[in-house]
Structure 1
Amino acid sequence: MTAAPDAILAELGFGRAHHRTLHWIARRPGLKVGELLAILGITKQSLTRVLGPLIKEGYVAQVPGSVDRRQRLLTLTEAGGALERRLFEAQRERLVVAYREAGGAAVDGFKRVLKGLMRDQGREYFDALEQNRQPKPPR
């Protein structure tokens, strides 16, 4: 599951922590550094080692918050978005095949297990995603 993305990342001098960082920033543009720390469950020092090269190489942009200038908001640059999509596509086909073979009930069970393994921040994000996918009742 991780071999293809790992190879792409290694070509760039990056690792899985960089992949995780790109993943979350892609899904929440404008993500605060503090929120990313909570989601990843790592120290500021560890995040600096990961985020620094992503910013320096032009994959992530960091801007101050509009209300609180002390906040640092993260978004992917065009290059960062392209890299994140490339990494995701390297995994997507394997997931599609596995989901098809397993069937709907197994996929739902798998999602529940993964959700049980998530930290609170990740679980909240997942719940919000699932809510947004539900059809809205007619008015």
Structure 2
Amino acid sequence: MADIKAGVNQLFLREEELRTGMELLFYAYREFTAEPDEILAKLGFGRAHHRVIYFVGRHPRITVSDLLAILRITKQSLSRVLGELVRQGYINQTTGVRDRRQRLLELTDKGVDLERELSETQRQRIARAYRMAGAEAVEGFRKVMLGMLDEEDRTRFATPAAAARLAAVKRSG
């Protein structure tokens, strides 16, 4: 009986199921980014700008170093995107209190408005999918997404309390 159960549990690991999962991710990402891409294009921005706006909004007073670690992009790439966002008034950059070398990032009111506009359709899309799937499926989705992350990023989401503590530490920066 254990052999049968083990075989059934492994069906989702067949090549076709894995390929279907990959394809679903591509389609979902296309839909997830479509409306924000239109808004960004009107401003002359791209997805890199969106990611910076999102994570600075999610982690007010985040350091440039921490943002680089999250985005895993080069300093040069971030500098270009961040420079545009600062010049156009979406992000404020201040010097750290304890460490003057730190640059702390925060959305301006204009940046908060843009982040809200970019994220609203994405939040609605996720909320609709979550409602359709139900709580058990949502937890399964979370586990699958966490399983796709590298260990370093996975620890950011270990528990809601850990995520809250991480955010509090970033704010006190």
TM range (shorter): 0.7 to 0.9
Q: Which residue of structure 1 aligns with residue 142 of structure 2?
A: 111
Structure of larger gyration radius:
2
Q: 1:51-104 CA distances to partner (integer Å, 9 max, x unpaired)?
A: 111111100010010011110000000000110011110211111111111111
Task: Report how far residue 23 of structure 1 moved.
Answer: 1.0
Aligned to 1:60: 91
- Written as runs of structure 1 = structure 2, the 5 A alignment for 1:1-139 is 1-120=32-151, 122-127=153-158, 130-131=160-161
Task: Supply the distance in 1 between the matched residues of 2:93 and 2:114 (Cα, whole angstroms).
Answer: 17
Other structure's SS at 1:2 match:
helix
Query: Within 2, Cα distance between the matches of 1:72 and 1:90?
Result: 31
C-alpha distance in 2, partners of 1:121/1:29? Answer: 21
Question: Do the aligned partners of 2:157 and 2:163 also contact (CA within 8 Å) in 1?
Answer: no
With normalisation by structure 1, the TM-score equals 0.87
Question: Matched residue pairs, number?
Answer: 133
Contact 2:156 2:163 in 1 (8 A): no
Whether contact under 8 Å (2:61, 2:104) holds in the other structure is: yes
Deviation at 1:119, TM superposition (A): 4.3
Q: Residues 49, 133 of structure 1: CA spacing in aligned structure 2 closer, same or farther, 3 A cutoff? A: closer
- Aligned sequence identity (%): 53
* Aligned-pair Cα RMSD in Å: 1.9
